[in-house]
Structure 1
Amino acid sequence: MRFIKNFLFWLIVVFGFIIILMYIFDVDYLLRAVRTIYFRGETTAFLDDYREFPNRTIEKGTAQPWALHKDYNKVKPTQRLTEAHKDLETVAYLIIKNDSIWHESYYDGYGKDSRSNSFSMAKSIVSAALFKAIEEGKIKSLDQKVSDFYPKFGTGMGADMTVGDLSSMASGLSWDERYYSPFSIVTRAYFDDNLEDVILGLDVTEQPGKEFKYLSGATELLGMVITRATGQTLSEYVSDKFWKPMGAANDALWQVDNPDGIEKAYCCIASNARDFSRFGRLFLHNGNWNGTQILSAESVQKMVTPRFDESPQYGYGWWIHNYLGKKMYYMRGHLGQFVIVIPQDNIIITRLGHLKGLQTDTDPHSNDFYVYVDEAYKMMGMMQPNDGEGNSKALTEADVLLQE
């Protein structure tokens, strides 16, 4: 009995000492990470982790239900799509054609009102909020300096950094985009309870506005700018300018660093496939929603046009691809969250789930993107043989299921 008491005493002492060291070396955010992620057996943020964090509500207004297509759910998923859903643990898959839901499938106990984490799809929403704030005159233009809002960035190369640089991922910020390292700045930003201090601790180490470099910290700083410019929290602004006018069926939740803090602008809106898809429909119609111009057509086209010729895969907050001879643009999030817009055929494809496909060094578009697009076209009987660059990307099952 004495041995057990001594063991427990020294165990407590050791753990106490470790915790003290974590505070001394400023890595106490790892306590939150261990409690919310690692003790659950996860190695990274997960689809339902919004329950583990404080959230701010993105309030809905009067709901505008989606129309159901006359052929709603008459066609089952292809075998290849079914296998991908199973192995990549899809929870929702929608095909929207001519503004009507043509197909929807849910898995793992999820349904049309189930919330899950948007992850970086939120970046597209934050950039839409930027362009809205510019249209309202609350931000002068894409060329307005970040230092107008945060003087900390008013010296050195930081003095050249604009809000457009933040949206287009050309910020030059000192940021390490590693999701699986407990000591990366991404992990700190996800779990720290003072996110503003984390971001204001960054430096500008590369010349802004010169080249595309995907950094979540840029979107977080952009969200902070929008908050200062509008005098509203991001959740309030997105609710007023988008969520309510688009008739979202449910309130959404946006993770914040602490109950009185700021939104994780680079990620972490908890909503459902149908409501996320509304942004796809808004952009499909060049910012028009049932006759109301929520966002100007010029803003939409700017966002879905590459800023840099050397990086044709990204515009302002939206990913871009030319595939099957068609221009496609999409919202994308960690673990394979997608809202894909194909204007030429008036199609939106939305997928939410637990795992993603392989991201190669040579293709900025992950392999599962091609599966969700190819199989949707097959289901609709619209897949046509193409030559040259329009070829369907025929991936093997192994290609699809390999994980980073």
Structure 2
Amino acid sequence: MLRKTLGASFIVIVLLGITFLFLPDYSQNAFLHLTANIDDYEIFENRTVAASNPQPWAISPGYNQYEMGQAYQEILESYETTAFLIVKDTAIFYEKYFLGYDEEAISNSFSAAKSIVSLLIGIAIDEGKIKSVFEPVSEYLESFKEGDKSEVTIKDVLTMSSGIDWNEAYMSPFSKTTEAYYGHNLKKLVDELKMDGEPAQEFAYKSINTQILAEILEAATGQSVSDYATNRLWRKIGAEHDALWSLDRAGGMEKAFCCFNSTARDFARIGQLVLNNGEWNGEQVVPAEYIQVATQAAKLFSSEKEIPYYGYQWWILNYEGKQIPYARGILGQYVFVLKDKNAVVVRLGKSRSKLYTDNHPDDVYEYVEAAYELLK
């Protein structure tokens, strides 16, 4: 009996192995790694976003003098928080790290990278590399020149209302999103895109929109997204550490929809730049007008609809009457801009709530509430 059982198990293992070999490489990677995590830069090729003008944060006189309540601490622990940081009046006011991470540990941004790409689009417009958000994508990408895709504008892509066909499924090893994350040819994915609706009609969150923006940046500037970010953003906001932007392959394209890897302190600079309306130490890094539009409810031109919770790749939280723009990643990577407190809040970690209220994960409200309690 035991011999028969072992024989059957061996056959199953052989069949599974054969099946695995015939899977696409991105599906094989998905099965090997099972789930995405904040240290995935270690399994990808990366391009450096160099820091060459470090400007360390000042430390607030009230640094870590206040502690959040037990209930908030339990929430941080329950979602496997790795960093919780508050910058108030351009100085670090509160800072805690967990699970072996510290102020020098880098973490995957996941979709919070989308908000960084949006800022780069604003910079490229200011430099005249891109004329405006109303330009058609076809001005930059050959694959958009014919058919229904020719009607898609940069604004449609920025506001997740492009009408492009895309399967935004994170758990399936066979989805297009999985192929984008674990695959090796992002430009081919963009070239092969089809439409499943009209642009500027409906909000539909699809990561490929940000990848399109990255290709536009590359075409408009003649630089890789990482090099452009280095020269036009990262060095100008005084980042203390080099960041890593993960690529689809060696020498390839940035996974712009995700995978910007940095420290909590340097992620806070992105929030501070938005808080400053695009200005840093007297230099206008991103146009103030662009920041204002990017972080307010988007209006879809064709349908005249408003998206109250989304701008140009920035989420917008209505919290007790306050409009709080924030960057957001799938495992709870958040950068909140609290304008009324002149503060920025960064939360990094390994999970987030699966429940949503008004299109925001429920833990978002907990972190913002905790920050306001500390800032009283």
Q: TM-score, normalised by structure 1?
A: 0.87
Deviations 1:11-47 (A, max 9, x none): 897466435532xxxx232122233x12xxxxx2111
Task: Tell me the residue number matched to 1:343.
Answer: 339
Give how far 1:321 is off.
2.0
Task: Tell me the residue number matched to 1:389.
Answer: none
Structure number with higher relative contact order (C-alpha < 8 Å, ≥ 6 residues apart): 2
Q: Secondary structure at the match of 1:266?
A: coil
Runs of 4+ in structure 1 over 6 Å off: 6-13
| Distance across 1 between alignment mates of 2:231 and 2:45 | 21
Task: Tell me the residue number matched to 1:149.
Answer: 140
Letter in 1 for 2:375: M
Task: Tell me the residue number matched to 1:176.
Answer: 167
Is the CA contact 1:116–1:270 (under 8 Å) kept in the aligned structure 2?
yes
Q: Secondary structure at the match of 1:225?
A: helix
Is the CA contact 1:186–1:216 (under 8 Å) kept in the aligned structure 2?
yes
Q: Secondary structure at the match of 2:116?
A: helix
Task: Tell me the residue number matched to 1:187.
Answer: 178
Give how far 1:359 is off.
3.1
| Distance across 2 between alignment mates of 1:140 and 1:314 | 23
Q: Secondary structure at the match of 2:204?
A: coil
Task: Tell me the residue number matched to 2:53.
Answer: 62
Give how far 1:126 is off.
0.4
Q: Which runs of 5+ in 1 are unaligned?
A: 39-43, 382-404
Task: Tell me the residue number matched to 1:163.
Answer: 154
Is the CA contact 1:120–1:332 (under 8 Å) kept in the aligned structure 2?
yes
Cα 1:144–1:20 shift into 2, 3 Å: same
Letter in 2 for 1:367: D
Task: Tell me the residue number matched to 1:364.
Answer: 359
Give how far 1:376 is off.
1.5
Cα 1:211–1:10 shift into 2, 3 Å: closer
Which region of structure 1 is more displaced relative to structure 2, 250-259 or 314-323? 314-323
| Distance across 2 between alignment mates of 1:310 and 1:144 | 20
Q: Secondary structure at the match of 2:22?
A: helix
Q: CA RMSD in A?
A: 2.1
Q: Does 1:374 align with 2:365?
A: no
In the alignment of these two chains, the number of paired residues is 369
Q: Does 1:279 align with 2:270?
A: yes
Task: Tell me the residue number matched to 2:19.
Answer: 18
Is the CA contact 2:46–2:244 (under 8 Å) kept in the aligned structure 1?
yes
Is the CA contact 1:327–1:344 (under 8 Å) kept in the aligned structure 2?
no
Pairing partner for 1:353 from 326, 349, 354: 349
Q: Does 1:32 align with 2:29?
A: yes
Task: Tell me the residue number matched to 2:114.
Answer: 123
| Distance across 2 between alignment mates of 1:205 and 1:194 | 22
Letter in 2 for 1:328: I
| Distance across 2 between alignment mates of 1:167 and 1:359 | 25
Is the CA contact 2:108–2:259 (under 8 Å) kept in the aligned structure 1?
yes
| Distance across 2 between alignment mates of 1:16 and 1:288 | 55
Letter in 2 for 1:135: D
Pairing partner for 1:208 from 194, 199, 205: 199
Deviations 1:323-381 (A, max 9, x none): 12222110111111100001122111110001101332x52111111111111111222
| Distance across 1 between alignment mates of 2:193 and 2:83 | 37
